[in-house]
Structure 1
């Protein structure tokens, strides 16, 4: 087999290599966009539009405000928001000021948030008020000294903003009472920063841009250290890959992408927000994609060309009665990632939109995109496609030797400019994650065919993948073990039609009076929604090896 058999599968015009050195930093990429596309709409949210020029001005003001707090280059700033315009403004501000973005899932419990803030050493956080009560519960145990509070209506103008905030706070009661003394409102921070001096730091390709947290095999989530050059490379790889179809957008029409995936997830961060910066595209921000009716109502108002999503969202939308209220005829690329795309979903999506789902593959540790099916495909392939430009993939066995036979399984290993520098402050974990020749070990078992197309067949780790989110059994077990009345417990993933996989929890009781409801209530207070067990089963004992290790595979099959 040749060194890169997949190059023959590249559509015409897609290069084998990209040049990630054309920008010294992500900030240079963004500032180019702010100048080049000043008058274009950058973000559309609830009927309100934010131009590239406005994003430029607001992020510069917020950057000046953050610098005025005494933060220095390299300090970490956590962002904890859904898809609202304050998020991209905050990302641009944090990076322009020379700081590091720490993306946080806004649905985290206080326990999960505390771990991430403590581990990253974040000194400031920009958070939407809906989740301020979570921060209040753990802030004292962290290094966070500065809090910027956002509200849903901040960017919607005086009248509409006040109305939206009233509905969110008083009618829907989505903002639990909280006390965060000294917290500053987002719009006040912008106003203060607008009158302050902004000092642009010198940023280099090897400076850290993001800490992107991923589950840990030890049950503790780890921060993947993504450098400016890692994200730049993945943006340019994605642009080159999509070009064969995105170049067919009529001249003068702005490329527009649907951002229904959360921006704190690396998939949306790179392939929605940063790629749209590079191409001068408009991003449609969907704050709550689980509300399918509202999502379709928003999409019905726009013409759009790119739609990255997970299989469950494609499926939910395609089955919704309002699906045909949307004009899907301009859609050029539907990228499926985050979890395996089911063939039935792909078939239905193709029938209903005329745009085949291109399944791709990636990880938080790879910024995220590693491989993808050619965007010119007219059918669903059931593979994760071929490596992107400048990317090498191979299969290795447990001893680290290359697996070269087509169809023979091995662990997928990856090398490319998008691969992380390592895990934040975990040198031993970092060393274990790479082969001697510098390939990142994904933990996924795959096969490769003679044309260079890869397929994921299993996972080496015990991770459960729920709607594209990693759930590590050890973390859930660690929490459940603290529940009164539990003697032993084990967690596995089981197939789920809606979410790909769901969490199954098996418990051996210490207290016979322990109920399923008590366990569910305990999990609800300590684990975010997607980590909570869907199935709870009580047994008298757990299957174990002779040395006492729990046999998770037996729990899966029984």
Structure 2
């Protein structure tokens, strides 16, 4: 088998994004901002970064940036340090910045480090918030008349013109800027939404970060094209999210694993907040089948809640289930239209066959051409048009469903066996006193210990006095009773206040590995 072909290939337009969305019918809300950006010196190819929580005007800035011939980038609100913001600005070659007033200071300092002039910074003071002294409001950009967007209708231009530089998850190192083209965004909507079999009017509450690949295509591009109703939350908060879903009769829910876990483990899980929902999806990281089933049970009658798989480099979704198909096997579905997939081994050899596990490679119109100005990363991650995802998975011959085992670099090698952390994490999460968990592999110094890895867990207790009595040994025995002996948590268990994650909910295991390294240097030993 050369590679796995999709069930169908999509016919894709070659317009720029704004013409594709707005030419029929015509809207002009973005035109004043396009004119303002040009008046401020924003030129074709420039990159504008939004440093903000979610906001109803976010999409307007996103589209105006692209309409002015530029490239969008975004950063995660208060979570970013000055160092991280400087890396982001330099890596994406950001030259214009718009920031909320409450989180402006770090961005101004980072802009100074990156040599972005203060005159190119505007304050996103929506909802009547005061303007900090010495700064100018983004609304000044709306006072320069109107201007049309940069138009084109050519396949090569569509494929090669950047619309956004979205950053990779940063699970293995400093985030890289994925160059997302006009075609990538248009293809993502086409193969996901226009092949959707749901015939009802879709409505969603948007609580995922508006700068992230998990939200950008469906929030700023696809929803406007399809006419979906969106209610924008500033950020995810458990009870307000559930109340909004109920109040606005939400049909579809988009989640990441931390959201799903928080909801099903909350005291609101048995209430009726989600009983009007019809369809749900969870992605960005693996979700335990038990949590998936529990979440589906609190949705509406006959509702679906399935896993999707994708990444920044595939402009979000790569595999999914089409409504109304349900799944309880832990699968991430089947490839979207036009996406080709193959499997390779550690030597890069094609081993594509049903039932065979290997590293998944993808090729298609939603796959980026490369990282922005990063030839080293491109050489490592791309083989021609094939992107090497780093995820280990396989395809079932009978159902054609795909299953993700784990990240290639995160499989724990125990005495010749491969242990997938998500399996151990799922078992730990099934404990009633555990709120969150992450598992990594660690190696201890000395003799045979250095020749194998040991599974080590970092866990967050549920609030309450009962959970505080839970011990390391009890958790080791709890997991050990459910799993093969070689999966025993011989690296030990550490109770922590939180698990480090990126904005989409992926566990930042490199940070845990750094922590474990320090612990080993300080005397941590195997718990055999």
- TM-score of the superposed pair, with normalisation by structure 2: 0.74
How many angstroms apart in 2 are the aligned matches of 1:214 and 1:556? 33
Residue number in structure 1 paired with 2:11: 19
Residue number in structure 1 paired with 2:284: 338
Residue number in structure 2 paired with 1:282: 229
1:379 Cα deviation (Å)?
A: 3.4
Contact 2:2 2:350 in 1 (8 A): no
Contact 1:358 1:374 in 2 (8 A): no
Residue number in structure 2 paired with 1:67: 38
How many angstroms apart in 2 are the aligned matches of 1:496 and 1:269? 31
- CA deviation string 1:488-543 (max 9, x = no partner): xxxx98465799xxxxxxxxxxxxxxxxxxxx9xx9xxxx9975759956546499
Helix, strand or coil at the partner of 1:461: helix
Helix, strand or coil at the partner of 2:94: coil
Please say which of residues 197-206 and 420-429 is displaced more in the overlay. 197-206
How many angstroms apart in 1 are the aligned matches of 2:179 and 2:136? 29
How many angstroms apart in 1 are the aligned matches of 2:24 and 2:304? 30
Trace 1:181-220 onto structure 2 (pairs within 5 A): 181=134, 183-190=135-142, 192-193=143-144, 196-203=145-152, 204-205=157-158, 206-215=160-169, 219-220=173-174
Residue number in structure 2 paired with 1:293: 239
User: Could you say if the C-alpha distance between residues 127 and 401 of structure 1 is closer, same or farther in structure 2, counting changes exceeding 3 Å?
Assistant: same
Helix, strand or coil at the partner of 1:77: strand
Helix, strand or coil at the partner of 1:126: strand
Trace 1:329-478 onto structure 2 (pairs within 5 A): 329-353=275-299, 354=301, 355-436=303-384, 438-450=385-397, 451-462=399-410
User: Could you say if the C-alpha distance between residues 218 and 406 of structure 1 is closer, same or farther in structure 2, counting changes exceeding 3 Å?
Assistant: closer
How many angstroms apart in 1 are the aligned matches of 2:322 and 2:282? 12
- CA deviation string 1:105-147 (max 9, x = no partner): 2221110000110122211011111210111222211242311
Residue number in structure 1 paired with 2:443: none
1:30 Cα deviation (Å)?
A: 2.6
1:404 Cα deviation (Å)?
A: 3.2
Residue number in structure 2 paired with 1:121: 93
1:458 Cα deviation (Å)?
A: 2.1
Equivalent residues, number:
441
User: Could you say if the C-alpha distance between residues 18 and 556 of structure 1 is closer, same or farther in structure 2, counting changes exceeding 3 Å?
Assistant: farther
User: Could you say if the C-alpha distance between residues 452 and 73 of structure 1 is closer, same or farther in structure 2, counting changes exceeding 3 Å?
Assistant: same
Helix, strand or coil at the partner of 1:299: helix
- CA deviation string 1:155-207 (max 9, x = no partner): xxxxxx44xx48xx9xxxxxxxx77x4x32133332x23xx342532343021
Query: Which consecutive unaligned segments of at least 5 residues does structure 1 have?
Result: 8-15, 36-52, 155-160, 170-177, 474-491, 500-519, 544-553
Please say which of residues 270-279 and 381-390 is displaced more in the overlay. 270-279
Helix, strand or coil at the partner of 2:123: strand
- TM-score of the superposed pair, with normalisation by structure 1: 0.71
How many angstroms apart in 1 are the aligned matches of 2:91 and 2:526? 32
The alignment's C-alpha RMSD in Å is: 3.7
Contact 2:254 2:280 in 1 (8 A): yes
- CA deviation string 1:83-107 (max 9, x = no partner): 1112111101101111100122222
